[in-house]
Structure 1
């Protein structure tokens, strides 16, 4: 059963966006698309792409950040009414920090026989990795890109995995074999050649040394590699190398039902738990036109903030450990266990509860939940005061982090930095306040900021956010509304139990919704949340089926790691360890 939600009408914001684009080479707009998420979506020809993006890059346009860049293989899609002919579609998502909700989506149609487009790395430096990702996974070539090579798959990979004609499972291919010659070729492909990465072996006065940090070094927080070009112990350049943890989460999202993909989202930022369910189910709900009940909304917010605290405690402890202070991490992990005890009591699971559902949450709060939460709210502030004395006032910790790895607001926006890393530069911008979702518009909280944008300030903001999360959770406990925890909507999955056991027809409907998934109306929708490490977004395309046609997962850690060379050049190796720790990332969030 499918229920169609009406598209939104054109508004004044659309007209403003169109005027900004058309100022470049009018008329260049091919079409204006109506999407379920109400983000203005404009189609332009590829020959006008660079000019239009250059215009939107100007300060007066207000759209400063390249938030996301991805692609869609349209060749098997059937519901494309009022869209230009396209075999592959490039999708650019721009975001402004000038006001609430100022976002724009640009689409560029590309033919099957010539999937080329101009690079925009000269306009936004963070486009570098995004364009490499699109080339790697879709085979779209960006003319003029400075270093177009694979980024998430091995250098010897054949094909482009997110194309619809690329296999999804190993069972679709012949049995794997590796001859000695193939093994030698694989090893040679991994050999590091400095010249290939744009590095010189010598300076005028000395020979450079190249140090391979990772992908199994404890300080890189996962399977992450950085190749350092060193002059003594000073870093001349750094090359981040990712993809060791790539699991094809987006490909899996296009092979699972709308309902059964929810547990996969938990594993993207494995420290964020239900925070990862949040944007995914919201995007599906936008596609289906589902309104989530008030009680479910507030339960979602409370659980998300509990996971924010748990994730920030991991960051706080491991950051201090990275710079040599060993005791705090044990205390902070102990407090994290207290968070997990609450989460386990409510959800039944700890790190990966997969507890959000399309239309609400899996079950209602258990008896006694409020006592557990209130006890934790009274306990943690005193512990944070102790940690402040132990860590933040420690002279060695300050010396290792102050003035190290600093960047400005302008640099943060150019490189796509969001979350605590952006607010540490002094910009009081939080998606929960700028574009409120769930019930955040009903809650009072401050947006913590700092001034210097260095390692120390990034820690300061994280700690202040823990205190604000406690404040939000207390309001949820005090004001938890009564009512249902799941929408009474035919596409809610699973459907409410009262309807499920009524008769055989509703039982069959339940079985189909869970096993095959609901039939979501055709369209596109994107949902975004202020996640633990920055903005996490899901852009979903439905072709009117029981599975997503295109699942795009935009994570904060991916652009954040790309910034490492900028903020590490000229520092010492020990400073790089502090920089890496202060970024707050997980590799599953980067590689997906």
Structure 2
């Protein structure tokens, strides 16, 4: 990608920046953004707008050599040609624009369809407008929200605000904001002789896997248009990350994809380790992989059971949840907690493996494959299940890449691409496993890929058990590991070092780094910016579910209402992963 941009004309100035993650990073002018985005959007290239976010630069001190900016837009592009083919573009925006309204940049939603929601998110949380956006309105906060929460001058805690009061006028304004206006939602009459007919699905419908709403425009039982409405579960995880110590934010990560457990810890601690230059011991790397794959199995079992339940089968979910309990028994024995163990640490893991850990896992490795064979007959060969899922909600590789789809949803289209293989992290390059794919990209194939991934995770875990290396479970690095307790009583300097590391956390050097993992639902990434303090200056959490839900209108138009339930179930998402 960087070579492609070398052909840009000289009137498009660009400045290269060196970052800790090694991703090529270029600063470009706002007026050049669309031209460069169009150049990257080559029709034959499997290239994705992976993420789009912003940084409030106004309180940042370590900016030597960078363009003047009060806000910075950050565009992350990636390609599926091989490992390391990524590009980060940065667009500086001036505070001067605030006197005439919001700072602004041109929209690229017509070039990259998945930019639509990302631009709305940046507008909502930073107050940066995108000229030419088709539907620029709040997406994660209520329409009546005042301010932009991820700006540095926006309050972080409710205690920083006056006591809440609800006047009659305020109540009426809130009620008015709830009134549904189809035109304001971007819906239009599709025929002169028809009227609007709507179905409000959610925000608490049992088949939507969280607090989620879709407004359907119908012609009979056929879907004419669908507008997803998210944000009901938004908790401000990125804002919280910017007021917690580097260590202290680890438990918060578990609650993002709350079915993924330590899989959420993985990209966060990897990004911090890249910022600080910390090497993780081999034993800790393999422990991380083993636990992450156990959580992949647990998450996929939830998906498998609830997907079958959504289309009318009630028995499988009970069997599969009992299997998930066996996974949690192993995780609890190793980590001390079940769903949210927060077990990963910067530089390693919290503690070593307990006695008997391998026996527990080997028993499970023998137990689950026959169960999966039974589920194959119970679910996947069931003619009703096949009728509800085969050919429903299909998309191809080009559409998936255009809309930011990763993980099982992308591989179900036939693209054999997995970050664990193409850009290995931890110890995945030492392990043998296959990348399951399908060919039709429909609901049935998405389920099929999930099932095969469970089998491959079992294969990976078996290798981890057989090849677990000896040695430390955590790096002996001053920024991650406090001095041994016995040494703290030896001299005052060591005691102070221990106290500061535990109470304030480490001081991470200034810099910028991103780390991605092949998480349970797709690519999950943390983009961290350190300003040389004990807390993150900017934390960006890129989750797969946010991108995947944006595709619902495309794959549901023309379908029946009943098909939409299968489509929603096959996406495999949780709303905390969407809203953060």
* Cα displacement string for residues 61-81 of structure 1 (whole angstroms, at most 9, x for unaligned residues): x46100000000000000012
Whole-Å separation in 2 of the counterparts to 1:456 and 1:418: 17
Displacement of 1:493 in angstroms is 4.4
Whole-Å separation in 2 of the counterparts to 1:102 and 1:59: 17
Whole-Å separation in 1 of the counterparts to 2:492 and 2:46: 53
| TM-score, normalised relative to structure 1 | 0.96
2:75 is paired with a residue of what secondary structure?
strand
Displacement of 1:482 in angstroms is 0.1
Which one of the candidate residues 24, 27, 31 is aligned to 1:47? 31
2:22 is paired with a residue of what secondary structure?
coil
Partner in structure 2 of residue 70 of structure 1: 53
Partner in structure 2 of residue 90 of structure 1: 73
| 1:588 partnered with 2:576 | yes
2:264 is paired with a residue of what secondary structure?
helix
Which one of the candidate residues 3, 19, 24 is aligned to 1:35? 19
Partner in structure 2 of residue 521 of structure 1: 509
8 Å CA contact 2:28, 2:91 repeated in 1:
yes
* Cα displacement string for residues 354-400 of structure 1 (whole angstroms, at most 9, x for unaligned residues): 00001000000000000000000000000000000000000000000
Partner in structure 2 of residue 137 of structure 1: 125
Displacement of 1:187 in angstroms is 1.3
| 1:56 partnered with 2:40 | yes
8 Å CA contact 1:94, 1:105 repeated in 2:
yes
Deviating beyond 3 angstroms after TM superposition, the runs of 4 or more aligned structure 1 residues are 493-504
Whole-Å separation in 1 of the counterparts to 2:27 and 2:190: 47
Partner in structure 2 of residue 325 of structure 1: 313
Whole-Å separation in 2 of the counterparts to 1:572 and 1:120: 32
Partner in structure 2 of residue 384 of structure 1: 372
2:256 is paired with a residue of what secondary structure?
coil
| 1:313 partnered with 2:313 | no
Q: CA RMSD in A?
A: 1.2
Displacement of 1:508 in angstroms is 2.4
Whole-Å separation in 2 of the counterparts to 1:224 and 1:119: 26
| 1:182 partnered with 2:165 | no
Q: Cα distance 1:498–1:421, how it changes in 2: closer, same or farther (>3 A)? A: farther
Which one of the candidate residues 544, 551, 571 is aligned to 2:559? 571
Displacement of 1:31 in angstroms is 1.1
* Cα displacement string for residues 466-521 of structure 1 (whole angstroms, at most 9, x for unaligned residues): 00000000000000000000001110145565755654432321221121110000
Displacement of 1:198 in angstroms is 2.1
8 Å CA contact 1:63, 1:102 repeated in 2:
no
Q: Cα distance 1:568–1:438, how it changes in 2: closer, same or farther (>3 A)? A: same
Whole-Å separation in 2 of the counterparts to 1:364 and 1:158: 48
Partner in structure 1 of residue 113 of structure 2: 125
| 1:20 partnered with 2:4 | yes
8 Å CA contact 2:475, 2:481 repeated in 1:
no
8 Å CA contact 2:117, 2:550 repeated in 1:
yes
After superposition, residues 183-582 of structure 1 pair within 5 angstroms as: 183-201=171-189, 203-494=191-482, 503-582=491-570
Displacement of 1:179 in angstroms is 1.0
Which one of the candidate residues 72, 79, 103 is aligned to 2:86? 103
Deviates more, 1:46-55 or 1:485-494: 485-494
8 Å CA contact 1:244, 1:591 repeated in 2:
yes
8 Å CA contact 1:425, 1:453 repeated in 2:
yes
8 Å CA contact 1:92, 1:105 repeated in 2:
yes
Whole-Å separation in 1 of the counterparts to 2:452 and 2:89: 36
Whole-Å separation in 2 of the counterparts to 1:519 and 1:250: 19
1:90 is paired with a residue of what secondary structure?
strand
Whole-Å separation in 2 of the counterparts to 1:447 and 1:501: 52
Partner in structure 2 of residue 13 of structure 1: none
Displacement of 1:570 in angstroms is 0.3
Q: Cα distance 1:128–1:496, how it changes in 2: closer, same or farther (>3 A)? A: farther
1:540 is paired with a residue of what secondary structure?
strand
1:372 is paired with a residue of what secondary structure?
helix
8 Å CA contact 2:309, 2:316 repeated in 1:
yes
8 Å CA contact 2:526, 2:542 repeated in 1:
yes
Q: Cα distance 1:415–1:341, how it changes in 2: closer, same or farther (>3 A)? A: same
* Cα displacement string for residues 57-103 of structure 1 (whole angstroms, at most 9, x for unaligned residues): 1146x461000000000000000121111110000000000111100
Structure 2 spans left out of the alignment, 5+ residues: 98-102
Q: Cα distance 1:369–1:473, how it changes in 2: closer, same or farther (>3 A)? A: same
| TM-score, normalised relative to structure 2 | 0.97
Structure 1 spans left out of the alignment, 5+ residues: 1-15
1:80 is paired with a residue of what secondary structure?
coil
8 Å CA contact 1:493, 1:514 repeated in 2:
no
Whole-Å separation in 2 of the counterparts to 1:59 and 1:27: 25
2:170 is paired with a residue of what secondary structure?
helix
| 1:112 partnered with 2:88 | no
Whole-Å separation in 2 of the counterparts to 1:507 and 1:529: 36
Partner in structure 1 of residue 100 of structure 2: none
Q: Cα distance 1:235–1:486, how it changes in 2: closer, same or farther (>3 A)? A: same
Q: Cα distance 1:573–1:496, how it changes in 2: closer, same or farther (>3 A)? A: farther
* Cα displacement string for residues 241-279 of structure 1 (whole angstroms, at most 9, x for unaligned residues): 000000000000000000000000000000000000000
* Cα displacement string for residues 131-161 of structure 1 (whole angstroms, at most 9, x for unaligned residues): 0000000010100000000000000011110
1:373 is paired with a residue of what secondary structure?
helix
Q: Cα distance 1:342–1:397, how it changes in 2: closer, same or farther (>3 A)? A: same
Whole-Å separation in 2 of the counterparts to 1:569 and 1:495: 60
8 Å CA contact 1:357, 1:493 repeated in 2:
no
Displacement of 1:190 in angstroms is 1.6
Whole-Å separation in 2 of the counterparts to 1:495 and 1:237: 60
2:200 is paired with a residue of what secondary structure?
strand
| 1:81 partnered with 2:78 | no
8 Å CA contact 1:120, 1:127 repeated in 2:
yes
